[in-house]
Amino acid sequence: MFSPTFGVQITLRLTYTGEPLPSDRESIFYLNVMDIPPNPKDKSKNYLQIALRSRIKLFFRPITLSMPLEAAFQQVKWKIVGKQVVAENPTPYYITYSNIELLQGKNNVTLPRAGMVAPFSQASFNVNHSLKQVKNINWTVINDYGGRQTGTSPLQ
């Protein structure tokens, strides 16, 4: 924790501690930064204070991973289990979805909340609609550069 003065820039330096990390998959870390403004000098006047919190995902990608990330997006398997859509990620990469849309004719359903699927695991997304006619899923992922990439996958 630090308290910089107004107008001062802070540089953070991340250092590898030597603790072993998996070499067959990405690892994720979170950097939480909170900016809390100082109290005003003249408290007799009205003022507005806003505290900002940023949560930044940091990915460690072992050099041994040879599959391009873009190829991993297409390898995710989708299925319906009850009232949930399940994404199974057989790749060594974290895949972050910003949008998931179920294609069922004219009445496509966009899931209210997308999310991230960890390497070699699965994630479930709740759906409050009938899933009987869903055949394909449109998805949008966030790539390494913060851009969006879209694709379509069939249901298994």
Question: Amino acid letter at 134?
Answer: V
Question: Amino acid letter at 71?
Answer: A
Domains in the chain (CATH in brackets) are: 27-60 (no CATH), 69-154 (2.60.40.10)
Element (H, E) at 87: strand 84-89
**Interval 36-94: pLDDT, tens:** 887 888 878 888 888 889 999 999 999 999 999 999 999 999 999 988 999 999 999 99
**Interval 34-52: pLDDT, tens:** 888 878 888 788 888 888 8
- Calculate what percentage of the chain has a pLDDT beyond 90: 56
Write the CA distances from 8 to 2, 3, 23, 113, 120, integer angstroms.
12, 10, 38, 37, 43
Q: How far apart are CA 115 and CA 99, in angstroms?
A: 8
Structure tokens at 102: 């179920």
pLDDT at 1 over 80: no
Q: What is the pLDDT of residue 55?
A: 93
Write the CA distances from 107 to 112, 129, 155, integer angstroms.
15, 10, 17
pLDDT at 7 over 70: yes
- Calculate what percentage of the chain has a pLDDT beyond 70: 96
- 136 pLDDT band, cuts 50/70/90, is very high
Q: Reduce the DSSP state of residue 93 to 3 states and report it.
A: coil
Q: What is the pLDDT of residue 95?
A: 97
Q: How far apart are CA 20 and CA 94, in angstroms?
A: 19
Q: What is the pLDDT of residue 4?
A: 66
pLDDT, the chain, mean = 90
